[in-house]
Amino acid sequence: MGKVFLVGMGPGDPDLITKKAERVIKNADVLVYDRLINSEILSLAKAGAELIDVGKLPEHHKVPQDEINRILIEKAKNYEIVARLKGGDPFVFGRGGEEALFLHQHGIPFEVVPGVTSAVAVPAYAGIPVTHRDLSSSLHIITGHERAGKEKSALDFKALAALEGTLVFLMGIKNIEYITGELIKNGKSEDTPAAVISNGTMPDQVTVIGTLKDISQKVKESGISNPAVIVIGDVVRLRGKIDWYRPSNGKRILLTRTFEQSVELMDKLKDCGYQVISCPTIKVVPVYDAVGNFIASIDKYDYMVFSSVNSVKIFREAISLYGFDIRKLNGKKIAAVGKSTADRLKGINIYADIVPQEFTSDALAGMMKGEIFGKYIAVFTSDIGGEKLIEKLEQYGGYVDKIALYNNVPNYEVRSRLIEELKRGVDIVVFTSPSTFEYFAKIAGEYTSLINDVHIVAIGPVTRRAIEESGYRVDIVPESHDTEGIIDAINSYYGEK
């Protein structure tokens, strides 16, 4: 019997999830998630984890609650860790309490991981503190789902209208005219400040400011929709002075490399004001036995060549698994294809002797030419990589063994999300290897043509050639084939427009 974790995912921005939530996600065997869960969070899941989308749209429940309950029980009986991911906090209008009771009734162990509630975080991102010593000494969080025309309201609007504090309605944008009308009808001043924040904490956050009298009309004119938070009270007046958050510049960038490799690039692009979507089209499947075979014949090698960040990651995992002492690498020359790979090696206390400025196999082989004749070289790469580099090194007289540390396979798990983002529209797609593009095309299928009107970034000439040979135009190739180079190239491209 496993355990179910009811995990709060916060208000939207993946940086706002807790450390414990992240730990549960990374260890979970099954993730059962709602509509508003950010794709970046799902990318934290371990290889092989089962992802089940039970997302609900307002007025349309994709998966009925009874079915969600059944899924939780079934998975808990067959897996050790089941993560039920819920937007905001699971116990704040998230039906977390209902699910916890259901699990208790059926003898399923569970744990609650609280999340940052949108009732507080979203107003904060709009420059609105929900309490303030001079303006509001209480906070009232209310569901906004209740329908107008309901025979008997569960909400006492007379009592709500009399409250001195801040009123926060969650997911109530469809009923905003009813909510504001009832508050005014029951005695709240029509001049009371009000705000509606859509997509709070996210790059496309929009805030509409008004009063009880006109906020519903302003919302209608703005065209904003759920997810949204309604804030009513004098604290809204403070927004003009403490409106600190700056949403994105409107440009949406799609990254296709593995999530782990994308983290640095993602964070820096966000800092530049871009909206970043991670849809890894490539999945890395480790082959630890390959390192075991290398260790068994380690003494014969003079050079070790790491072809990617992934090769370093899998090598580190494998030597830890085998209990290998890296001091045994003393005396061997280390080469890395690019600065990022060299930096990752440095992170495990292995320092590269040879690092080309240009992120290509030709550049690395060129640096090694003249010193490798008759030498034995281990090239750490993927099952589909390294052929050109190996060919060059052999031409220069080296004896080369390919150590295929991992298999690259298409990540079909992102298909629905990838197509959804392409349909929604992106400005830039970044490809960091020929395989990220090849698998992108396999996964997207007929929807690949949607990138005809998108600006394409290829990390280097090899990737550019693969894309152009498939009939697509490459707009941007960075001078430096690394994270900084990609960022500089994108900023320059838009700076010239």
Bridge partners (DSSP) of residue 286 are 406
Q: How many CB atoms lie within 10 A of CB 74?
A: 12
The token pair that represents 259 in the structure block: 């999530």
As to burial, measured by CB atoms within 10 angstroms (0-12 exposed, 13-18 middle, 19+ buried), residue 214 is middle
Q: Would strands 303-306 and 376-382 be described as parallel, antiparallel, or unpaired?
A: parallel
Q: Which residues are catalytic?
A: 34, 56, 171
Please list, in sequence order, all residues whose beta carbon lies within 8 angstroms of the beta carbon of residue 437, skipping any fewer than 6 positions away: 256, 431, 458, 463, 466, 467, 470
